[in-house]
Amino acid sequence: QQKVQQSPESLIVPEGGMASLNCTSSDRNVDYFWWYRQHSGKSPKMLMSIFSNGEKEEGRFTVHLNKASLHTSLHIRDSQPSDSALYLCAASGAGNYKYVFGAGTRLKVIA
């Protein structure tokens, strides 16, 4: 059964620091990855998606993907207390309608 593993489980970074989160799929058929952010008591909101090898940057957020190792990472620079949330990685394979989610990384940014 396809699994998506995220690490670390939790992360504390100082305000202004860099947060790095990791995600790996065990399914060789996975082609697409998403990163979602879920603040406490709220619904997940999509941050970024990536389908091609390499890097994608949007503002303070950068996502990397290595399709050979099925590994993606999310980097948040200049972290803010408002970035404190659960970060979820999701993956799906070509033609598959549903995502498989990881269990998330809980990020806390301390002032």
Partner 1 sequence: NSKVIQTPRYLVKGQGQKAKMRCIPEKGHPVVFWYQQNKNNEFKFLINFQNQEVLQQIDMTEKRFSAECPSNSPCSLEIQSSEAGDSALYLCASSPQGANSDYTFGSGTRLLVI
Regarding 32 and contact with partner 1 (CB under 8 A), the answer is yes
- Residues that bind partner 1 (rule: CB under 8 A) add up to a total of 25
3-state secondary structure the chain: CCCEEEECCEEEEECCCCEEEEEEECCCCEEEEEEEEECCCCCCEEEEEECCCEEEEECCEEEEEECCCCEEEEEECCCCHHHCEEEEEEEEECCCCCCEECCCEEEEEEC
Query: Looking at beta carbons only, is 35 or 83 nearer to partner 1?
Result: 35
Quick one: 97 or 111, whose CB is closer to partner 1?
Answer: 97
Residue 28 contacts partner 1 per CB under 8 A: no
Name the residue nearer to partner 1 (CB basis): 34 or 76: 34
**Would you tell me which residues interact with partner 1 (CB under 8 A)?**
31-32, 34, 36, 38, 42-46, 49, 51, 86, 88, 92, 94-101, 103-104
